[in-house]
């Protein structure tokens, strides 16, 4: 069984979190991909996030029509920052037969050397790097250890589909101004949920 794990704050989830993951699942034959909504992201300690339950609900809504993509409450239920290596070790224990694949955007992969126990990650999971605008890893100067890792078979750099130029930060700014996101960037259900609860105003 091939299991994909995709962590993030998803504040809010957008199509840049869905389209490349759908493509990665098909390209790599992943049986399931679990979206791990991080309650307390170790990398973003200062910013106030929308409540974890609201972010989880939005992930569920955005993935309703997506075969094989699921929201997981695992990281959200921890009452401490979730470190990716520890999450991977949890799923390794819970699903010993699974081949784990960690999906991450190109921007996050370039910062991997800043993550807690990052050198342990490739032994537990293959890394699947999703294309993101501005993060062409063929031309970027990467930290030397990350560049060396990228050249191994523990890392799969996906080149398709063309990256979507969308970020949660920009969407929060739009919602805060009472504006609608450009068509196709956010699922309609998520837009309605954000507006119903005034999540970003």
Where along the sequence are the contacts to ligand ATP (CB under 6 A)?
A: 8-11, 16-17, 20, 104-105, 107-108, 130, 132, 163-164, 166-169
Rounded distance between C-alpha atoms, residue 63 and residue 154, angstroms: 27
Nearest-approach distance from CB 144 to ligand ATP, in angstroms: 21
Nearest-approach distance from CB 167 to ligand ATP, in angstroms: 4
Nearest to 155 by CA among 185, 191, 130, 188: 130
Nearest-approach distance from CB 96 to ligand ATP, in angstroms: 25
Can you list the positions of beta strands (E) in 47-106?
Answer: 69-72, 99-105
Cβ closest to ligand ATP, residue 68 vs residue 161:
161
Size (the chain), residues = 201
Report how far apart the first and last C-alpha atoms of the chain are (Å, whole number).
Answer: 42
Asked if residue 74 lies in contact with residue 90, where contact means CB atoms within 8 angstroms, the answer is yes
Q: How many CB atoms lie within 10 A of CB 92?
A: 15
Cβ closest to ligand ATP, residue 96 vs residue 155:
155
Nearest-approach distance from CB 36 to ligand ATP, in angstroms: 10
């Amino acid at each position: 069984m091939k299991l994909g794990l995709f962590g993030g704050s998803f504040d809010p989830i957008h199509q840049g979190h869905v389209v490349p993951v759908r493509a990665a699942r098909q390209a790599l034959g992943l049986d399931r991909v679990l979206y791990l909504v991080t309650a307390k992201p170790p990398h973003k300690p200062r910013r106030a996030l929308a409540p974890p339950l609201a972010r989880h609900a939005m992930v569920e809504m955005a993935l309703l029509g997506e075969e094989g993509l699921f929201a997981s409450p695992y990281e959200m239920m921890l009452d401490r920052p979730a470190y990716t290596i520890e999450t991977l070790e949890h799923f390794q224990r819970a699903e010993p037969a699974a081949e784990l694949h960690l999906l991450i955007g190109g921007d996050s992969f370039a910062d991997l050397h800043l993550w807690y126990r990052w050198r342990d990650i490739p032994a537990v999971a293959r890394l699947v790097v999703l294309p993101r605008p501005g993060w062409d890893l063929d031309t970027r100067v990467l930290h030397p250890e990350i560049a060396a890792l990228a050249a191994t078979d523990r890392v799969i750099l996906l080149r398709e589909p063309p990256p979507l130029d969308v970020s949660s930060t920009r969407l929060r700014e739009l919602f805060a101004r009472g504006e609608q996101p450009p068509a196709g960037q956010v699922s309609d259900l998520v837009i309605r949920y954000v507006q119903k609860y005034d999540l970003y105003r």
